[in-house]
Structures are given as C-alpha cells and as structure tokens.
Amino acid sequence: MNDLSHDQRVAGLKGLGSSRKRVEDARFTQGKGNYVDDIKMPDMLFGDFVRSQYAHARIRSVDTSKAVALPGVIAVLQAADLAPLGLHWMPTLAGDKQMVLADGKVLFQGQEIAFVIAEDRYICADAIELIEVEYEELPVVVDPFKALQPGAPVLREDLAGQTKGAHGERIHHNHIFRWEVGDKEGTEAVVAGADVVAEEMVYYHRTHPCPLETCGCVASMDKINGKLTLWGTFQAPHVVRTVASLLSGIPESSIRVVSPDIGGGFGNKVGVYPGYVCAIVASIVTGRPVKWIEDRMDNLMATAFARDYWMQGKIAATAEGKITGLWCHVTADHGAFDACADPTKFPAGFFSICTGSYDIPVAYVGVDGVYTNKAPGGVAYRCSFRVTEAAYFIERMIEVLAIKLGMDSAELRRINFIRKEQFPYQSALGWEYDSGDYHTAWDKALNAVGYDALRAEQAQRVADFKAGKTRSLMGIGLSFFTEIVGAGPVKNCDILGMGMFDSCEIRIHPTGSALARLGTISQGQGHATTFAQILATETGIPADQITIEEGDTDTAPYGLGTYGSRSTPVAGAATAMAGRKIRAKAQMIAAYLLEVHDNDLEWDVDRFVVKGVPERFKTMKEIAYAAYNQAIPGLEPGLEAVSYYDPPNMTYPFGAYICVMDIDADTGVADIRSFYALDDCGTRINPMIIEGQVHGGATEAFAIAMGQEIAYDEMGNCMTGTLMDFFLPTAWETPHYTTDFTETPSPHHPIGAKGVGESPNVGGVPAFSNAVHDAFRPFGLTQSHMPHDHWRIWRIANQLGLHG
Amino acid sequence: MSKMHLKLKVNGKSVETLCEPRELLIHVLRERLNLTGPHIGCETSHCGACTVDMNGMSVKSCTVFAAQVQGAEITTIEGLAGPDGMGVLQTSFREHHGLQCGYCTPGMITRAHRLLQENPNPTEEEVRFGMAGNLCRCTGYQNIVKAILHAASELNASKEAAQ
Ligand code: FES
Ligand code: FES
C-alpha cells in the first residue's frame, strides 16, 4: 500500500464521493435477504385480525364460538382480554390514544376487532370467516369540514368532556388541536393592504406509502429467561423497545427488538400498530412465537395513510411581484385517532417550512387537526414531517400568484428567492436555513431544459390548438423546493420524550478492519454501503473492510431511527464524529510509535505523517495493531469510540425540478416528455445512490400527483384497498429522469451532508402537478386538485369548454 | 383439510411435500420448501414480487394453487445463480444499482430471466413493457431497465463467443 500514490490511496478507500457498489446487493439479488416474513421458528403461531366492515358502528356482540372450535385455533383475543393488562388502548406517537382492539365501537373501516391466533395462516383465515360480529351502524363523517359542524356525530366518545388535548384546546368534539405559528395580525394587515393578493384552496389528497413489503412482526416471549424478542418492520427499533417496555412493564433490558431487512418503509413503518401489541400479548399468553403479517388490503386500509391536508392560502405581493406576506390555514384530516408520527412539539410537523425558498417578510400558519371516520396515520410518506404538504402548498401558491400578476412563474420565483448572502436565513416562521444558493441552481436548471425554447413551443402549441390544428396541450411544471430534514436538535425535537439524537459506535479490530453500529435502520437506502464510506474517509480504513450493523437493539447504540431523511444528517454526523474520536486516539498512538509530539503529525488519507518528513509515518492499520499489542503509557489499550450526535440545527436540502408533459385534451392522458431533477443535498457521499434515491422518490411523486389516492365514499368505505385501485406505476408508465446537482455543503454538519432520500418526493409532486395546471393556464385554469388521473384531467378540459 | 402429496422439480431438484391443495404456490415454496427468495407483496397478482418460472413461463406464484402444479418444473431466484455465485443478471442489477430495498428484486430478476429467453435482444420499450407486471417502489425502474439491457448484451456477447 505504501507504494501507492496519494490518489490511488484515496480511491482505494472508496470513501466520500465514490459511487461504491452496494454491499447489500449480493444477498438481495440471490434471494438471500432476511425480511420479517422469512423468519421461521419452531412452534410458531400465526395471528390475524377480524376487521370492521363499517366506518362507524357500535359493536353489539362478537361470536367467536365457531372459530374457537376449529381445530388449530389457539385463541381469539378481544378488547376485554386485553383490558386487564391495560392494553386494549395504546398511546400514539402524537399524544392521543388508539384502540388496539375495538372497545365497544369502531371508528373506521378495517379497524381491528379481534385477534385470531392459530397454527398457520390458512387456519387463521378460516377462523376469521367463522367469527360473527353484530354491528349497530352509526352516522359516518368522512369530510373534515362537516366533522367540525355543530351537530356532527361524536366520534371519540372516550374524549367526552375533554376540552384539552395533547396540543392545547379542543374547540369541538371532533377537534384534535389548533397549532399556530407566526404573526397572524401582521400578516393579515399586509394581506389587507397589498397591491395583489392571490387566494386559493390547495388540497393535498390522502395517499399511502405502500412499501412493497407490508408491516409485520414476530414476537417471541421466552418464559424461562423472561426475555421478549420482537422482530419487525420497524423504522425506529429503539423507540419500539421503549414503547414496548412502557406498555408491558417488562424492563427494557429484557426486550430485544430487531429490524431485519426491510422491504421499503417510506414512513409506513414508523408507527406502532395494534398487530405488534397483539402479537406480543399472544406470545406471552401462549408461550410460543407469534407472527403477524399484514396483507395488502390491511396495509392500505388500516396502517399509516399520509397527507390529507386542506390548505387555504393567501399570498400578498407588490404589483412588481415581490412577495410581502403569506397566510395559511390548514384543515388536517387525521382520521379516527391522532397517530401522526411527528416530533412531540410539532403536531403539524414542520409544515411551517411553507414559506419555501422565498424571502417572505411576514407569515402566519394555523392548523386545525380533525377526527373523521377514516384510518389513522398521517405519516411522512417519503418526506420530512409534513414538508411535502408545505412544498406543494407554496409551489401552487406561487403559480396562482403568477397567474394573478400575469407573470412567468420562473421569473416570479427568481425575484423572490432567498439570496445566497442571506444565509443563514431566519424565516418568518422561525426556521434558520443553514445554507443555499438558489439562484445558481435555478439558472442551471432553466438552462438545462432550454426553458425559453420550451415556452416558445408551448405558445405555438396553444395557437395551433386554438386554430384546430392539434388536440394536444403542453405543460411545463416548475418546482423549486427547500426541505427541512435531520431532526433533532434534541432541545426542541423528541418522540415520546426521546430526544432526536442519533448514534454510532465503532470498533477497530487489531488487523485494521472495523465494525460500526448505528441507531438507524436501512430500508433500501444502502446504509451498509454509505456509512462505511463516511468512516473510510474519516479513519483511512477502506470501506470494504468496514462492516456496518443496524437494527438490533441488543447490540446497536440507542438511536431514533430512519425517517424524515434523518439518517445522513444525524447518524451520518455521529459516524463522522465517532471516526474523528478514533483518529484522535490514533494520532496519540502514532506519536508514541514515531517518538514525536502529537502536534508534529499530520493526517494523510490513511496515515499519520511526521510533518515535513514524508517517509516517516504510521498507517491506520499499523496503529490499530499497536493499539492492541503495545503498552502505551497514559493510553488505554484498544481502539473504539462512541458518538451520540445531537445536531445543532436541521439541514435544508433544496432543488429545482422541471417536468414537461403533453396532454391529450380529449382523453386526459398525460404523457411525461421529460423530467429534470437538480438536487443540492450538500456534500455527496455516494452519487450512484443519490441518483437512485432521486429516481425512486420522483416515481413516488409521479404516482401521487398523477393517480394515487386513498379514497372513501360517503359511507366511509375505503375504495382503494387493493393494488387494482391504488395506483402504483409500472416500468411502462414511469417517466425517464435526468438528474443533476449543485453542491452547497451544510455549514454545521461535520461532513456537510444534508440528506436526499425525500427531496424528490417533496419537489416532484409540485413539478408534476404544476405541469398539468400549466397546460391549462392559457384557458383559464387556476387550481384543480390532485391526483391528476386521466379522468380528472379530462374533466378539467371539459369544464374549460375545450371539448367544443 | 386433507393433504395432497405434491411432487415438483424445483431449481433442478426433485422435491416432494405434503400440503393442502388450496395452498398457494408461494406458500409452498416459502414455507414448506424454505425458498424465501420469492416474496409476497399483494397476493392479488398485481406486484410480481412472487414471480417464479413455471414450465418455461413467468407466473405469479401467489395466484397458483398447489393443486395446479403437480409435476411442474419451477425455477426460483435461488436457482438462477451461476456456479460461482451471482449470474449475469444478478451482477448487472448490482452494477447498475437496479435495486434498493431488495424486496422486488428476486421477482424482477426471475421475470427478467424469462423475458430475455423470450426476447434476447429487447429494446428499452420492450423491456419496460415486458417488466410491467413487476412493481418496484424504490428504484423508479430506470436502473432496472438499464441493468436488463446491459445483461442482454452481455449474454448475447457470450453466446456469440461460444459459437
Ligand atoms: S404477491 Fe403475487 S403478484 Fe403480488
Ligand atoms: S427495490 Fe424496493 S421494491 Fe424494488
């Protein structure tokens, strides 16, 4: 190794910036992944739910006699069986509580009523068919505005008389909270006196993260040693351990939670679901391992919807287009229980990032959370908490304002961007944006797509359309977004009281390879690959010789898990900091070995070199060996480090996305001609993985904007319970993406990285939606709600009178 | 329910098991034969995670009953590896970052394997169309398509070299 050049040594590390191939792939491509449903234990039982057919009903009776008589059925659990343990209800992450099994009534279709435990999944399914539930139907409310009317049915009888919830006052029996940020009076005064005000209701519909693997777990209570082991699809295994301990009274030291390989999460696997609780109880009761795996219909109907925000906005500007104020009120449909997975003090997540990338002097946001007869959830579907709602809102409001001003919306964005020299920038709603260079990114994006030529082509197309020469319209969808990711800091971000730090523990072995364990968990982001790259650069140990482990609470240090793009900003920082601790000790060891003072050494890729004497050095490999075989005065043997990283601030990735589509006015079919995505996620750890994340996130955005929704009828029937009705794009309709980047490091992150996994969803949805709107702008459209499926696009054309 | 004696050829080996006729092939493979490569994503024929090769055709094993497969020849992802580990498609998926969480991957590769038998020289359009029965939530397909096109050219090149 010593004969290699500096550059060869850097390349050999496969550290930061290298498109290192993924270490996970060998097992996944050979079918050797280990997902929760692959776990098989001797004597294992299977559990599954009887679910409610009604959206709102009292449960008169549940007759389990035929089911219990079926050979192979072990037991059927109901709320009354869980009540003595205090487990028929469970706390949610949002400070509310949720029924584990129906306690007298059901509040949404698909709600869990009884848990059947049987020898295998077939017997379980047979038994569920044999259980007879008698319901008394109650009036249903699926519309959050109707839910808040004076005579609306009372959904949560358990909260009767409670005028205070976890987030302050409740003003109505179906009201959950009101959350307000910013200067209401000041904003209203600006709006009242503005040259121009654009006002619009922007709805971001209900959808679902729908990872390809559904949720599930295996619970195994070992009665001999009193240890509970829980394998499951958990995006935050340590939090699950803490919650399991608080609920069950079993000490945390006797609970082991393991997240094995996870088949995609996207927010679906953050929450705690009744299935986990029931599997644990069932294992305790039977003394046998119990597996619970959702089927797809359970998944779409009962666990973790996302969005469902009705956002009323007013944006004020001067006649020249300089924005002077932003006002927003959200009616947030949370379903039957408030089970959002947001940091405790943020019942609407980080929605107040809704001033976006613009320098807006004054702003106000108010959010009212509402109960309806729909499934609980409100998770961050591939975005940081409620950030995609915020980005969609502001990017639609910009377009609506541009229409009002008669301006090009690219130019309107440009004159309102926060300028480079304003960073760190204090937003009107209280955030400190760490770094950015929006103008550079925007110009690069517009040039890359040939924006002016596209506008000229579009004008010609409109003229041809009006002249009857074509039936095709063209939309140019612009989007510029700023994300806020990487929660902590601990001082204002916690989940159930757990500060949102993250952690890394490193052991360097005597022969110079290493093991690092983290508090996060990969669900496809390739942590085993990228975290090793961070460490390689920090410690000079080749990434190929660093093993990364996550997801087992018995071995990994406590961490808050992976969601909200927090792994790179928080655990990535912890990894770098732990690596630096290793290096600091290594420097002392090297100084001893080379018989010089610490300060006489400098770091060079993979070694400490005596300053000015390049031939005198000790490589990390040599140092590691010495750490274990030499008695060094004043130093403990060994080479290990732990870091718990509490980020000083969040990070603010940003980007510019542009979508061009052709729309057939007669069929409503939208053909995505091109999609350009420029991302600035600060320092780039692995460009190949970043590009993959952008492709995947943009495809989820495409799905959401163009067809995917969780829909209910007036009776509260979920109409989108299978993949027949719930749109997941195939390779055939998914567009081709062009990716690009600028690189503005985060000044407060040890390696300057900001996180990227969720940006394409946040920025992609407005790009697709704005393209649809833009196609119809010349004909008078200002706002039409997503998803823009063919029928809805056809309807826009029809309502604008384009069908003659 | 009474059980049937099922005889199959799986990944080139003769296997036998007892199972109920109504059992789904995916459960027979995963739970009785311990082949957990093929996955379950929907059980309604939509996602393709359970794709296996049956008598020379791609099938979604979540919608095939045990009673329908007596004597069938089945290849799962576990049977696609080359003698020294990863086969051409597998390597190509890795090289082109054609997977993220890996959950769709066994079904994808098994389907791609059959697609390239049906059409050894597909265009990008033909790959996208031919793979449309397999959903992926992570990758956006672009790199999967790239991986398959690249594998096709590699397989063709080695066929030519052999001739
Ligand atoms: S599990 Fe068979 S197609 Fe989805
Ligand atoms: S890689 Fe996750 S579903 Fe395809």
Q: What is the pLDDT of residue A560?
A: 82
Rounded percentage of chain A residues whose pLDDT exceeds 90: 88
Is residue A403 in some structural domain? yes
Are A640 and A656 in a shared domain? no
Is residue A148 in some structural domain? no
Residue of A235, A458, A533, A708 marked active site: A235
Q: What is the pLDDT of residue A1?
A: 44
Q: What is the pLDDT of residue A520?
A: 84
Residue among B1, B37, B139 minimizing CB distance to A696: B139
Are residues B39 and A737, on separate chains, in Cβ contact within 8 Å? no
Are residues A730 and B132, on separate chains, in Cβ contact within 8 Å? yes
Are A639 and A679 in a shared domain? no
Per-residue pLDDT of B15-60, as tens digits, reads 999 999 999 999 999 999 999 999 999 999 999 999 999 999 999 9
Q: How far out from the chain centre does Cα B80 lie?
A: 8
Is residue A735 in some structural domain? yes
Q: Which of A612, A645, A678 is the last residue of a domain?
A: A645
Instruction: Please tell me if residue A671 touches chain B, with a CB cutoff of 8 Å.
Output: no
Q: Which two tokens stand for residue A393?
A: 């809102």
Ligand nearest, relative to CA of residue B30: 1
Rounded percentage of chain A residues whose pLDDT exceeds 70: 100
Instruction: Please tell me if residue B123 touches chain A, with a CB cutoff of 8 Å.
Output: no
Is residue A168 in some structural domain? no
Are A410 and A333 in a shared domain? yes
Query: How far off is chain A from B26, nearest CA to CA, in Å?
Result: 12
Are residues A723 and B42, on separate chains, in Cβ contact within 8 Å? yes
In B, minimum Cα distance to A208 occurs at B137
| CATH classification of the domain holding A641 | 3.30.365.10
Q: Write the DSSP assignment of A39-64 as a string of letters.
A: ---TT-EEEEEEE-SSSSEEEEEEE-
Q: For ligand 2, is residue B136 a contact (CB within 6 Å)?
A: yes
Per-residue pLDDT of A257-266, as tens digits, reads 999 999 999 8
Per-residue pLDDT of A11-56, as tens digits, reads 999 999 999 999 999 999 999 999 999 999 999 999 999 999 999 9
Are A656 and A570 in a shared domain? no
Q: Which of A293, A325, A353 is the last residue of a domain?
A: A293
Q: For ligand 2, is residue B134 a contact (CB within 6 Å)?
A: no
Q: For ligand 2, is residue B138 a contact (CB within 6 Å)?
A: yes
Q: For ligand 2, is residue B99 a contact (CB within 6 Å)?
A: yes
Q: For ligand 2, is residue A264 a contact (CB within 6 Å)?
A: yes
Are A608 and A520 in a shared domain? yes
What lines the ligand 1 site, CB under 6 Å?
B 40-43, 45-50, 60, 62
Q: Which two tokens stand for residue B138?
A: 């992570």
The size of the A-B interface in CB pairs under 8 A is 179
- Alpha carbon distance A528, A599 (integer Å): 34
Chain B interface mutation, best of A22, A23, A28, highest count of B Cβ atoms under 10 Å: A28
Q: How far is the CA of B20 from the centre of ligand 2 (A)?
A: 31
Is residue A598 in some structural domain? yes
Instruction: Please tell me if residue B72 touches chain A, with a CB cutoff of 8 Å.
Output: no
Are A465 and A579 in a shared domain? no
> Which residue reads 């597998």 in tokens?
B90
Whether the ipTM is more than 0.95: the answer is: yes
Q: Give CB contacts under 8 A, 24+ apart, made by A193-196.
A: A194/A316, A194/A317, A194/A318, A194/A324, A194/A325, A195/A317, A195/A318, A195/A319, A196/A316, A196/A317, A196/A318, A196/A319, A196/A401, A196/A404, A196/A405
Cβ neighbours of A689 in B, within 8 Å: 97
Q: Which two tokens stand for residue A441?
A: 């990114």
Per-residue pLDDT of A470-521, as tens digits, reads 999 999 999 999 999 888 788 888 877 788 888 999 999 999 999 999 988 8
Q: Is the dihedral of CA A96, A100, A102, A108 positive or negative?
A: positive
Q: What is the pLDDT of residue A565?
A: 65
Q: What is the pLDDT of residue A536?
A: 97
Instruction: Report how far apart the first and last C-alpha atoms of chain B are (Å, whole number).
Output: 54
Q: Is the pLDDT of residue A529 over 80?
A: yes
Q: How far is the CA of B107 from the centre of ligand 1 (A)?
A: 9
Q: Which two tokens stand for residue A329?
A: 């009120």
Ligand nearest, relative to CA of residue B135: 2
Cβ neighbours of B129 in A, within 8 Å: 731-732
> Which residue reads 């351990």 in tokens?
A241
In chain A, what are the helix, strand and coil shares in percent, each to the nearest 5?
Answer: 30, 25, 40
Are residues B100 and A692, on separate chains, in Cβ contact within 8 Å? yes
- For chain B, the C-alpha Rg in angstroms (whole number) is 16
In A, minimum Cα distance to B1 occurs at A123
Are A328 and A364 in a shared domain? yes
Are residues A734 and B81, on separate chains, in Cβ contact within 8 Å? no
CB neighbourhood size of A106 (10 A): 26
Instruction: Please tell me if residue B63 touches chain A, with a CB cutoff of 8 Å.
Output: no
The whole-number average pLDDT for the span A773-792 is 98
Q: What is the pLDDT of residue A480?
A: 98
| CATH classification of the domain holding A219 | 3.90.1170.50
Are residues A264 and B101, on separate chains, in Cβ contact within 8 Å? yes
The whole-number average pLDDT for the span A412-427 is 98
The residue to mutate among B24, B25, B40, having the most atoms of ligand 1 within 8 angstroms of its beta carbon, is B40
The residue to mutate among B45, B58, B108, having the most atoms of ligand 1 within 8 angstroms of its beta carbon, is B45
Q: How far out from the chain centre does Cα A204 lie?
A: 16
- Alpha carbon distance A598, A608 (integer Å): 10
Indicate if A382 belongs to the active site. Answer: yes
Q: What is the pLDDT of residue A631?
A: 92
Are residues B142 and A695, on separate chains, in Cβ contact within 8 Å? yes
Cβ neighbours of B53 in A, within 8 Å: none
Directed axis angle between helix A237-248 and helix A274-286, to 10°? 60
Q: For ligand 2, is residue B137 a contact (CB within 6 Å)?
A: yes
The residue to mutate among B25, B29, B44, having the most atoms of ligand 1 within 8 angstroms of its beta carbon, is B44
Are A268 and A320 in a shared domain? no
Q: Please, is A549 exposed, middle or buried when counting C-beta atoms within 10 Å of its C-beta (0-12, 13-18, 19+)? A: middle
Residues in chain B: 163
In A, minimum Cα distance to B29 occurs at A38
Are A598 and A477 in a shared domain? no
What are the structural domains of chain B?
A: 4-79 (3.10.20.30), 81-162 (1.10.150.120)
Cβ neighbours of A121 in B, within 8 Å: 27
Residue among A28, A266, A688 minimizing CB distance to B99: A28
Ligand nearest, relative to CA of residue B38: 1
Query: How far off is chain B from A694, nearest CA to CA, in Å?
Result: 8
Indicate if A383 belongs to the active site. Answer: yes
Per-residue pLDDT of A669-691, as tens digits, reads 999 999 999 999 999 999 999 99
Cβ neighbours of A699 in B, within 8 Å: 139-141
Name which residue leads in pLDDT, B82 or A576: A576
The alpha helices in A213-273, defined as continuous H runs, are: 237-248
What is the tally of structural domains in chain A?
3
Is residue A165 in some structural domain? no
Q: What is the pLDDT of residue A497?
A: 79
Are A87 and A19 in a shared domain? no
Residues in chain A: 804
Secondary structure of A381-410 in HEC code, one letter for each residue: CCCCCCHHHHHHHHHHHHHHHHHHHCCCHH
Q: Which residues of A43-80 are buried (b: 16+ CB within 10 A; e: fewer)?
A: ebbbbbbbbbebbbbebeebebeebeeeeebbbbbbbe
Instruction: Report how far apart the first and last C-alpha atoms of chain A are (Å, whole number).
Output: 75
Residue of A382, A386, A517, A583 marked active site: A382
Is residue A547 in some structural domain? yes
Query: How far off is chain B from A123, nearest CA to CA, in Å?
Result: 10
Q: How confident is the model at residue A564 (pLDDT cuts 50, 70, 90)?
A: low
Instruction: Please tell me if residue A37 touches chain B, with a CB cutoff of 8 Å.
Output: yes
Q: What is the pLDDT of residue A247?
A: 86
Residue among B37, B41, B141 minimizing CB distance to A296: B41
Is residue A111 in some structural domain? yes
CA dist A321 → A170, A396, B132 (Å): 39, 15, 46
Q: Which of A603, A618, A645 is the last residue of a domain?
A: A645
Q: Which residues of A396-431 are buried (b: 16+ CB within 10 A; e: fewer)?
A: bbbbbbbbbbebebbebbbebbbeeeebebebbbeb
Instruction: Please tell me if residue A737 touches chain B, with a CB cutoff of 8 Å.
Output: yes
Cβ neighbours of residue A352 closer than 8 Å, sequence gap 6 or more: A181, A182, A365, A390, A429, A430, A431
Residue window 97-116, chain A: list those with CB within 8 Å of chain B. none
Per-residue pLDDT of A445-461, as tens digits, reads 999 999 999 999 999 99
Are A582 and A547 in a shared domain? yes
The alpha helices in A101-253, defined as continuous H runs, are: 121-130, 144-147, 184-193, 237-248
CA dist A151 → A141, A148, A155, A172 (Å): 11, 8, 12, 10
Mean of all residue pLDDT scores within chain A: 95
Poorest-pLDDT segment among A164-168, A440-444, A509-513? A164-168
Minimum-distance ligand 1 atom for the alpha carbon of B50: 2
Are A252 and A385 in a shared domain? no
Residue among A263, A296, A728 minimizing CB distance to B103: A263
The residue to mutate among B25, B29, B62, having the most atoms of ligand 1 within 8 angstroms of its beta carbon, is B62
Q: Is the pLDDT of residue B3 over 60?
A: yes
Range of the domain at A568: 6-33+502-645
- Alpha carbon distance A332, A347 (integer Å): 10
Query: How far off is chain A from B141, nearest CA to CA, in Å?
Result: 6
Minimum-distance ligand 2 atom for the alpha carbon of B49: 3
Per-residue pLDDT of A730-744, as tens digits, reads 999 999 999 999 999
Q: Which two tokens stand for residue A328?
A: 């927003």
